[in-house]
Structure 1
């Protein structure tokens, strides 16, 4: 396999969790890159959060402002939750980046956010069920520390209802997750590392994403962001977390050549001059799906929180139109929040 894509002369050193195996040999992967200030960096495209860019965006006029105010579209939501008590393998989108999954009898939640993401970022679509119903959850997967993906109140509820749950996340996330859950079952991984799932019939890997991290004023990129690959003897699922488009999708297709379901964000991409480096548009998400050579595509990260300039409905209608193309008809899924996809 060729060397993975990387921006040269950027990284001061590399980190990994010495207690977890790395799935690539040292000749191909030195570890998760860190800069001279001790901050994690994207291994291909560096990204530095600049308050001046944020200010410029806030001062700009949103060309979609009138359109957003007029349109009353709301994300479709299904409130039946028979899948919760079923035994069959399934993937259930619950809005934004929260999924319930069952594989080989193992139950998982990704990036659980059951209510508002913050006092400012309010939920636009209701959560499909009472989150207190989540019991006996085996794994909680946290892609990064942003509040619309890692919510303290949701983690506290999960910890109370699921005292034996294990939490898988990136390097540097230990203290944050511990403070919310009190759990001693937290594993942090570098990119291309495999989590220890013990006797569970499932493999779980942490892989690169093109994004960044920040929760408070002075912690930019102190915690690692990433994506997950889940594997059983019959099914492989890729969950992107938050990511911009990059060569990491093609890299992953060579390391995991038989991805059945890829779950990729398709919202919060405008204005593109600001968002392209850390979020992905619906068009580029389809391109990433091709790069991954996956069989099925499930979009996420739209319709739930208003995080950017585009209207909430724009990703949905764009992808709905793409389904008229025979290339996408059977591969592209557009489930309602709370609707199960049986795998």
Structure 2
């Protein structure tokens, strides 16, 4: 029996090693030379990136197994929509020829198309069916159709990526996008995945927290988040995670990426607010991981911390990555936003958001 168990465990380990090394979706690895370079960052300590406070805690192997068992075997009655989510469609020509006021189009979860100052920017462009390294390792997204298929997107000026988790950085999406995009902007280290997928180093710009870069008439500022990183067991915290500030001559936009609630939101609001529009994480939370994902009530509070004129809850409406009802995030944040007098917008997937003109709650999820 012990011999059989030993052979089984060895086979599983060898299979995992082969899968990780041969399957491209796992991305690249930070080299020793890059780690040496990252030591210059105040956010890099003892060989890995860290948060402002000491989170998340490293789980033991048994704690990890317990968490995985709870996630995969707990029945959540309303964890996914009863039917495929209906999305608004957008045409490639409409995107290519758009020259009007700033607008955003939500693709579900945290993926956006932003058109500002006659530039087209994609944010965390996860168009994939499953938020996992392989389709067998996750559940399908709630909408089988996207507002526009990735192959039909026109030229993209820039892509912003918040961190390297599968629900934000998708191998197949990047492979389909890479020849359409002029520049990619990421937190420190995330560029190793893009290079592994065939994107030239010259088209990748990596930033540390509080660093900024000019892109034509726009400015992108890499700002803090409270989260973690890693695409496989042995490279956790090897790349940085972030939020982003996007500034034009007349407008300021915030994108939270993934983050637990913390003092960094007030710091960002003080440094770069007020914001015309803020996309703030609101979904995939649980009491077991309160420091790395916000609860909906905290999402509404972040709108105040940032001094944002208009807030949109994101990181929901596409994937089941936690144990709450799929509509719980939006229902709770709508309630709390009313209490705090925070202006909220909740568009249907694919419905354009025009800055200065979108300030109502469309409760489209009630019909799904």
Same fold (TM over 0.5): yes
Within 2, Cα distance between the matches of 1:258 and 1:177?
33
Within 2, Cα distance between the matches of 1:70 and 1:171?
34
Within 1, Cα distance between the matches of 2:340 and 2:188?
41
Structure 2 unaligned spans of 5+: 1-34, 356-368
Within 1, Cα distance between the matches of 2:154 and 2:291?
37
Whether 2:212 is the aligned partner of 1:194: answer: yes
Whether 2:110 is the aligned partner of 1:103: answer: no
Measured after TM superposition, the shift of residue 192 of structure 1 is 0.3
Measured after TM superposition, the shift of residue 153 of structure 1 is 0.7
SS at match of 2:302: helix
Deviates more, 1:100-109 or 1:65-74: 65-74
1:300 to 314, 326, 334: 314
Whether 2:186 is the aligned partner of 1:177: answer: no
Structure 1 unaligned spans of 5+: 1-13, 19-29
Contact 2:269 2:306 in 1 (8 A): yes
Measured after TM superposition, the shift of residue 44 of structure 1 is 2.6
- Paired residue for 1:205? 221
Within 2, Cα distance between the matches of 1:246 and 1:63?
31
RMSD (CA atoms): 2.6
Where is the helix percentage greater, Structure 1 or Structure 2?
2
Deviates more, 1:83-92 or 1:201-210: 83-92
- Paired residue for 1:279? 293
- Superposition TM-score, scaled by structure 1 size: 0.83
Whether 2:244 is the aligned partner of 1:228: answer: yes
Q: After TM superposition, what 4+ stretches of structure 1 lie above 6 angstroms from structure 2? A: 14-18, 61-64
Contact 1:15 1:34 in 2 (8 A): no
SS at match of 1:244: coil
Cα-to-partner distance string for 1:97-145 (whole Å, 9 max, x where unaligned): 1100011111100111112222223212232211112221011011001
Measured after TM superposition, the shift of residue 190 of structure 1 is 0.5
SS at match of 2:77: helix
Within 1, Cα distance between the matches of 2:322 and 2:300?
20
Instruction: Say how many residue pairs are matched.
Output: 310
Deviates more, 1:85-94 or 1:48-57: 48-57
Matches within 5 A, 1:1-343: 31-36=41-46, 38-50=47-59, 51-60=61-70, 65-68=75-78, 72=82, 75-81=85-91, 84=95, 85-88=97-100, 89-116=102-129, 117-118=131-132, 119=135, 120-121=137-138, 122-126=140-144, 127-160=146-179, 162=180, 164-183=181-200, 184-197=202-215, 200-270=216-286, 272=287, 274-322=288-336, 327-328=341-342, 331-343=343-355
Contact 2:191 2:204 in 1 (8 A): yes
Within 2, Cα distance between the matches of 1:77 and 1:238?
24
